[in-house]
Homo-oligomer: A and B are copies of this chain.
Amino acid sequence: MGALKNHAIRLNSRPAGLPVTGDFELVESEIPTPGTGQVLVRNLYMSVDPYMRGRMADRKSYTPPFQLGEVLQGGAVGRVAASNGNSDFAAGDYVLSMNGWREWFVSGSEDLTKIDVSIAPPRAYLGALGMTGLTAYAGLISIAGLNKDDRVFVSAAAGAVGSIACQIARNMGCEIVVGSAGTEEKCAWLTRELKIRDAINYRETKNLSAAIADVMPGGIDVYFDNVGGSQLEAALDNMRQGGRIAVCGMIEQYNAVEPPRAPRNLANVLTRRLTMRGFIVLDHLDMRERFLSDMRDWIAEGKITWRETVVDGIEHAPEALIGLFKGDNIGKMLVKLADDEG
């Protein structure tokens, strides 16, 4: 075995429809050396998220597109391996960055955030305690204006964002929280572990709209939409007057080659005075302190839990990303890049 090398994943070609592994390329290089004032970080875990699919297309979206032939980017947690005179970070510190899709990197302080591993393990900062959890929090509180009397429906409820959204709604006092998911195992997790009122296996349901009406006869006040398309349409059928839809994701159509199927009952926005509002977590970073404080309390009280689906080795990161669109994950999908030897 030779000396330790650095590995990273580059975007090889822009996917048409669902990405394939050939759209990605594993590249090997030397482990970089930190310049003066820089640190060397070894990533422990990296995040794969549905929004990354959008950045693989060469079109305007809320983040600029990934460039062909360049190493991809995304959330990662790592550990400082060496500091070349950096005054903010010392060897052994755990850090969060957007320098995922690579095993090692050098950086100044500006790209790094120190994380508190006394609350939860580092990888939780890519999921429940990270952007994923904050997305659920901001969507419910700031976008949907959740209050305890709301009846809440969450799509992709066993996903990274959805599973936290379900529990935040429950913790805020909402008695009727219902989620949709694509397997019986996911549904069982939602009702038994996350303790929400009901879960609908949308793959086993012929008529999702009727299935929602069945378990939520009073209708939906707040729909946390991670899916769009057919699930949005089913939710629109069941929205109560004055209902709010927080549009967080539209995973159903991220890989669409044809223009996607659109909800044909959009007129309900008018007749039921609905508010439908899209949001991006990056606009809500000011809520991060409040979010972490609530999460700390909920963790201490045993009122929040999460699961991770961990794929081992950077060479499998493309498969992990592709798996998101097939529903391979329960909870947050992560790629493990190194053992934490701290």
Chain B residues with CB under 8 A of A274: 277-278
Partner pick for A262 among B54, B263, B276, CB 8 A cutoff: B263
Chain B residues with CB under 8 A of A162: none
Contact B270 A247 (CB under 8 A): yes
Nearest to A262 among chain B residues (CB) is: B262
Chain B residues with CB under 8 A of A271: 54, 61-62, 278, 280
Contact B260 A264 (CB under 8 A): yes
Which of A10-18, A33-41, A95-103, A248-256 contacts its partner?
A: A248-256
A213 beta carbon closer than 8 Å to chain B: no
A214 beta carbon closer than 8 Å to chain B: no
Partner pick for A273 among B241, B267, B268, B278, CB 8 A cutoff: B278
A215 beta carbon closer than 8 Å to chain B: no
Residues of A at the B interface (CB closer than 8 Å) are 54, 61-62, 228, 232, 241, 247-250, 253, 259-280, 283
Sample of 9 further A-B pairs with CB below 8 A, known A250-B266, A250-B267, A271-B278 = A54-B271, A61-B271, A250-B270, A262-B263, A269-B276, A270-B280, A271-B280, A276-B276, A276-B277
Nearest to A244 among chain B residues (CB) is: B277
Contact B270 A278 (CB under 8 A): yes
Beyond A259-B264, A262-B263, A263-B262, whether A276 also contacts B273 by CB under 8 A is no
List 14 A-B residue pairs with CB atoms under 8 Å apart, sorted by A's residue number. Answer: A62-B241, A250-B266, A259-B264, A260-B266, A261-B264, A263-B266, A268-B278, A270-B279, A271-B280, A273-B279, A273-B280, A273-B283, A275-B277, A275-B278
Beyond A274-B277, A275-B276, A276-B275, whether A247 also contacts B264 by CB under 8 A is no
Chain B residues with CB under 8 A of A247: 269-270
Nearest to A62 among chain B residues (CB) is: B271
Beyond A275-B277, A276-B277, whether A260 also contacts B267 by CB under 8 A is yes
Contact A259 B265 (CB under 8 A): yes
Interchain CA distance A62-B272 in the complex, whole Å: 7
Contact A228 B276 (CB under 8 A): no
